[in-house]
Amino acid sequence: MKIDELMNEVSTVGIGGHIRPDGDCVGSCLSMYLYIKKNYPDVKATVFLEKIPPELMFIKDAELVNSDFSTDVESFDLFIALDCGKERLGDAEKFFDNAKRTVNIDHHVSNEGTGDVNYIVPTASSACELVYDVIDTNKIDEDIAKAIYTGMVTDTGVFKYSNTSPKTMKVAAELISYGFDFGSLIDHVFYEKTYLQNQILGRALLESMLVLDGRCIVSVISKQTMDFYGASSNDLDGIVSQMLLTIGVDCSLFMYEISPLEYKVSLRSNGAVDVAKIAGLFGGGGHTRAAGCTVNGTCHDVINNIVKYIHHQMEA
């Protein structure tokens, strides 16, 4: 599938990604926007996303993202959903439903494809890698390359996770040939943390606990704690991955309170546990080694219910 093949007689394009956008979501949406803007200057393209994390605002035209989900376009000629199915588009789902034609590009195994045209490749490292597949690579520039590279870096853990393939590295090599400072980019989007983020990371690690004979590590951040630090969900990025680096641990579980009796759960695994299957049991999804879900209940009930399924897999 090539995006250029779908652009005939298209004058308006809507682009959207999942709620609580991360690096891959933002990178894939903005790289697609920049590609259309560069090669189809007469087409009106709009990116709809919730508020972008501050560390990703360096991507070109990030400030143009529509986060209030208002538009005078009644029905987009084409709507492209990236890094998710339509059900996770949030307030942009209505634009997807009303569009004349829809495209769904994603790498999550839980997504079977929700568009008229679907490009779903669960073995891909990221949605950004798939964007690189569907555009004409002879028509990109440094800004597009940087946006794609950003998503690939964040979703592969700087090319460390198991979703990194030889193809991923080849694409990355082609992208850095455009000359941007990829070292500084990696530091900025993956390693740099604010003082507040370091404080909340320290709190999560300090209050973590080992279960299942030390093979699983669990930590919870309450709404009260988040309010005390003035932290948002974006300040919690990377905590669950840091937890997994604990010696002897095969699976990490990090959750934070969204509202009373409602928790956002993140799961990571070194391969001993298929966390996508566990997240799926609670209405979530993701990948074998990285997944998430939202679960209702008391803190202890949520932990016990999820750890039970982790234990089942470890004992299988």
**Domain harbouring 224, CATH code:** 3.10.310.30
Choose among 191, 264, 208, 269: nearest CA to 231: 264
What CA–CA distance (Å, rounded) separates 55 from 112? Answer: 31
For 248-258, the pLDDT digits (tens) are 999 999 999 99
For 175-219, the pLDDT digits (tens) are 999 999 999 999 999 889 999 999 999 999 999 999 999 999 999
Same-domain status, 45 and 129: yes
What average pLDDT does the segment 267-277 reach?
Answer: 94
Using DSSP, state whether 291 is helix, strand or coil: strand
**Which tokens belong to 314?**
């470890």
Domain hosting 216: range is: 196-315
Average pLDDT, the chain: 96
Same-domain status, 161 and 257: no
The pLDDT of residue 181 is 97
For 113-126, the pLDDT digits (tens) are 999 999 999 999 99
The pLDDT of residue 147 is 98
Same-domain status, 52 and 179: yes
Choose among 57, 51, 26: nearest CA to 234: 51
Same-domain status, 77 and 186: yes
Q: Residue 266: what are its φ and ψ, rounded to 5°?
A: -120, 135
Same-domain status, 89 and 222: no
Residue 135's domain is classified under what CATH number? Answer: 3.90.1640.10
Count H helices and E strands in the chain, helices first. 11, 11
Residues 6+ apart with CB under 8 A from 219: 204, 205, 207, 208, 209, 239, 243, 253, 254, 255
Say whether pTM exceeds 0.75: yes
Same-domain status, 142 and 207: no
The pLDDT of residue 37 is 98
DSSP letter at 54 equals G
For 273-295, the pLDDT digits (tens) are 999 999 999 999 888 888 999 99
The pLDDT of residue 89 is 97
What CA–CA distance (Å, rounded) separates 103 from 114? Answer: 8
**Which tokens belong to 33?**
């926007």
Boundary residue ending a domain (158, 191, 224): 191
Length of the chain: 316
Answer whether residue 80 shows pLDDT above 90: yes
The pLDDT of residue 218 is 98
What CA–CA distance (Å, rounded) separates 105 from 83? Answer: 6
For 12-29, the pLDDT digits (tens) are 999 999 999 999 999 999
What CA–CA distance (Å, rounded) separates 255 from 204? Answer: 10
Using DSSP, state whether 211 is helix, strand or coil: strand
What CA–CA distance (Å, rounded) separates 226 from 298? Answer: 17
Rg (CA), the chain: 19
The pLDDT of residue 316 is 82
Same-domain status, 60 and 169: yes
Residue with the bigger pLDDT between 163 and 223: it is 223
The pLDDT of residue 164 is 94
Same-domain status, 170 and 258: no
Boundary residue ending a domain (191, 211, 244): 191
| Residue 252 near residue 239 (C-beta atoms within 8 A) | no
Same-domain status, 117 and 257: no
Boundary residue ending a domain (153, 170, 191): 191
Q: How many domains are contained in the chain?
A: 2
The beta strand positions in 166-311, using DSSP E, are: 209-211, 216-221, 251-259, 262-269, 285-286, 290-296
The pLDDT of residue 190 is 87
Same-domain status, 283 and 259: yes
Percent of the chain at pLDDT > 90 equals 91
The pLDDT of residue 29 is 98
Same-domain status, 130 and 231: no
In the block, residue with structure tokens 């309010």 = 227
Same-domain status, 8 and 43: yes
